[in-house]
Amino acid sequence: MTVETTVRTPRLRALGKALRIPTILLALAGLSAGSYLPEVSTVSADPAPAPANVSQPPAAVHAAVPAVTSPATALLANGADGLSPKVLAMALDAMACARTRGVAAREDLLTVIDYSLPSTEPRLWVLDLRRGEVLYHELVAHGRGTGDNYATRFSNLNDSHQTSLGLFVTGGTYTGGNGYSLKLRGLDKGFNDRAEERHIVMHGAWYVSPEQARAQGRLGRSWGCPALSEKMAPKVIDTIKGGSFVFSYGGDQDWLQSASSNTCGGASVATTTAAL
């Protein structure tokens, strides 16, 4: 495969520099810097303690990908244990873009959910961006209004029982009707900014398990929450709580069109992502 080595987009270079990711790898992922984020609400969160080091075997390096040294770049190049490099690049883009808009959140962790995959496959990743490790790779349910095995409909509306797409930041925890749960604040105006109003939280559920997937050809479904298995939910929640980013990706065309047309503004990327 021939890779063009010249990247002409200034914002792509700025993003690569801020995240310590060579711009050529962002180009390989097929994205330009600032290609993601709709209008973002400004929030702040107190930093939480660093997550426990959960050992995972490193992913094999594809021969066609150039040698890399940055942990985040390695995740991008290797596909992060099955995570699409394009989706990961979009998530990193969203994270950097949000920080330029004043969203205070942890820079060492990123959770990515790829709702374009079937519910029967693990489609949630918790990434340690400093170590270049996949901490968790788990099953996650979508809303009952969003589809059966595949997520095809997304919403920001109350009582839709549909999943929302875009970038979230985690808040505090509580114990409620679904047990130990994690609050999520949606940052994308018009797409997920009603998450708190809709009580969209991360929690455990009995209907999320390999057994459920085998028995009915899909996981059970939530009322729009990203529901994990009862066994893994507390571990994941305790790792990502207190101000880390969660990026939910899907194939919804309205969201993708808005994601690509609402960008970070020009020079602001270069000047404000230096703190990343």
- Asked whether 229 and 138 are in contact (CB, 8 A), the reply is yes
- Copy the structure tokens of residue 125: 């990743």
Q: Which CATH class is domain 11-39+63-262?
A: mainly beta
Instruction: Say yes or no to pLDDT of 63 above 50.
Output: no
Q: Which residues pair with 33 in a beta bridge?
A: none
> Which phi and psi angles does 44 have, rounded to 5°?
-135, 155
- Copy the structure tokens of residue 270: 């270069």
Instruction: Say yes or no to pLDDT of 191 above 80.
Output: yes
- Tokens 């930093």 label which residue? 47
Mean pLDDT of 48-76: 48
Q: What is the pLDDT of residues 244-272, one digit of tens each?
A: 999 999 988 888 888 755 545 433 333 22
Instruction: Say yes or no to pLDDT of 274 above 90.
Output: no
Tell me what pLDDT residue 122 has.
97
Point out the least confidently predicted range of 23-27, 97-101, 151-155, 205-209: 23-27
Q: What is the pLDDT of residues 96-112, one digit of tens each?
A: 999 999 999 999 999 99
Among 61-65, 90-94, 223-227, the range of highest mean pLDDT? 223-227
Instruction: Say yes or no to pLDDT of 228 above 80.
Output: yes
- Asked whether 127 and 188 are in contact (CB, 8 A), the reply is no
Q: How far apart are CA 164 and CA 160, in angstroms?
A: 10
Q: How far apart are CA 191 and CA 255, in angstroms?
A: 8
- Copy the structure tokens of residue 6: 């010249």
